[in-house]
Amino acid sequence: MAAYRAGDVRAFERLLARHERAVWNFLRRFVSDASTAEDLLQEVFLRVVKGADEWKGTAKFSTWLYTIARNLTVDQARRAVHRRATSLDGTGRAGDDGDAGTPGADQRATDHQIAQRIEAAVSALPTDQREVFLMREVMDLPFAEIAKVVGASEPTVKSRMRYALEKLREALIDFQDGLAAPLSAGPREGLR
C-alpha cells in the first residue's frame, strides 16, 4: 500500500491479486447474492483507491481492507431490511433437474440441499455473529485482527463466535451425524 501511495500503480494490482478472492468470499457469504457481492467488491477497492491517503502504515493493510468490506456489508444489510421481498419464481434455476439420470445426481442434489441449509443458517445469524463467523472461517483471520476490524474486544469476538456456532449447531441439528463432530470440535474446525 505504501508503494501504491508513492505512485507505483502495479503495487495496487498486487494488492488486488492478493486480497480480491478472500474479500469476495467474505462479501458473497455475507450478502448471499453474487451480483451484490461483486458490486460491493468493486466498491471496497474503489474506496481503497480513494482513501489511499487515509491508510496509516501503523495498521495492517488487511485490517483496514476488511474494515472497509465489513462497513459496506453492514450498510448493505441495513438497506436490505427495507427491501426484502420473496421471489415469485421460487429458488430453483432452469435446467437444474436436467441431469437427474446421470450417476451421482442424487448425491449432488443432497449436497446442494445441505449447502443451501448451511448458507441459510449462516445468513440467519445476527449480523455481529455472522461477520465474526465469516471472518474467522472463510477469511481465516485471527481473533485479534477480527476484533480490530469490528471494533470490539477479543473476548467479545470469541463470544460472538461461540454463539454463532451454537446457533448453527441448533439450526443444523437434523444433520447431526454428519456435522455434529466438526461443529462441536471448536471454532477452527466448524463448517469448513
Q: For the chain, what are the domain ranges?
A: 1-82, 105-192
Give how far Cα 32 sits from Cα of 17, 24, 44, 73, 111, Å: 23, 11, 17, 11, 18
Give the separation between CA 23 and CA 69, rounded to whole angstroms.
7
Tens of pLDDT, residues 122-156: 888 998 999 899 888 888 889 999 999 899 999 99
Is the domain spanning 105-192 CATH 3.40.1160.10? The answer is no
Residue 85 has pLDDT above 70, yes or no: no
Domains 1-82 and 105-192 share a fold: no
Mean pLDDT of the chain: 78
Q: pTM of the full predicted structure?
A: 0.54
Residue 35 has pLDDT above 80, yes or no: yes
Question: For residue 75, what pLDDT is reported?
Answer: 84
> What CATH number labels 1-82?
1.10.1740.10
User: Hey, what's the cell of 80?
Assistant: 436490505
